[in-house]
Amino acid sequence: MFALPSAAPQPLAGRVVLLSGAHGGLGAAAAQACAAAGATLVLLGRRLPRLNRVYDAVAQAGHEPLLYPLDLEGASPDDYAELADRLHAELGRLDGVLHCAAEFRGLTPLEHLDPAAFARAIHVNLTAPWWLLQACLPLLRQSADASVVLAVDDPARVGQAYWGGYGIAQHGLRAMVGMLANELAATTVRVAGLQPGPMRTPLRARAYADDLGEDLRDPEAYAGACVTLLSPAGAAWRGQVWDAAAGGVE
């Protein structure tokens, strides 16, 4: 039996991609698009039943994914080292990381923010993604063309009042894109940010109860941009944040 050639182009064929926040709004949409684009996915999320649902959709769209249940809040650098070891042992390579995990619990004045909630927001939204990337870098460096993509929020919005630790961490994450990209400029690992426009997801709903924004989209609208940044075409955004709603970069 010959396999039928796929009709759709597969810009991620042969690539192994680790996707965090895989059962979130953008993460689940990106997972399906990346699978359809030919990637083998490792789906990282904190709730196994929800990961299983994404698994089913991804397996239908492309290669069977691997599931990696992990809570970024409690994970230590040793846990990320173990993740990298398992990726190496089970798949032998890593060509991309798409970081979509983020925690936002609601708008609160900084002055009234519970100290532990502030620390948790900075940890989950800034420290944890760095620990994850740091552990994965040795494996990424072995790829001929590796792509790190960090989903980031609009700094003009989350720098306003009440966005708390999430808003502050988002500014740090954006700084990480440029800094890490510069440090890896001479390597095969490129780093870019993806700033989607407002999306109908649980995260957004925690800030806006009645959200009727004209620019509000389903997360599927930005899944293609995730594929592009992970693919060879993503090299055009090396070291930059793609403002995908506006179509521009900054």
Which residues are CB-contacts of 140 (< 8 A; sequence separation ≥ 6)? 94, 95, 96, 97, 146, 148, 189
Q: Any idea what DSSP says for residue 56?
A: H
Query: Quick one: tokens of 176?
Result: 């990480």
Q: Does 151 bind ligand NAP (CB under 6 A)?
A: yes
| Cα gap 5→8, rounded to integer Å | 9
* Of 106 and 232, CB closest to ligand NAP: 106
Q: Does 129 bind ligand NAP (CB under 6 A)?
A: no
Q: Does 201 bind ligand NAP (CB under 6 A)?
A: yes
Q: Which of 241, 109, 206, 208 is nearest to 165 (CA)?
A: 109
Task: State which of positions 24-53 bind ligand NAP (CB under 6 A).
Answer: 24-27, 45-47
Query: Segment contacting ligand NAP (CB under 6 A): 3-11, 22-30, 31-39, 110-118?
Result: 22-30
Q: In a 10 Å sphere around its CB, with 0-12 CB exposed, 13-18 middle and 19+ buried, how is residue 167 labelled?
A: buried
| Cα gap 30→98, rounded to integer Å | 9
- x/- letters, 101..120, toward ligand NAP (CB under 6 A): xxx-----------------
- Give the one residue of 56, 64, 73, 183 binding ligand NAP; rule: CB under 6 A: 73
Report the interface residues with ligand NAP, using CB under 6 A. Answer: 21, 23-27, 45-47, 71-73, 100-103, 124, 151, 153-154, 196, 198-199, 201-204, 219
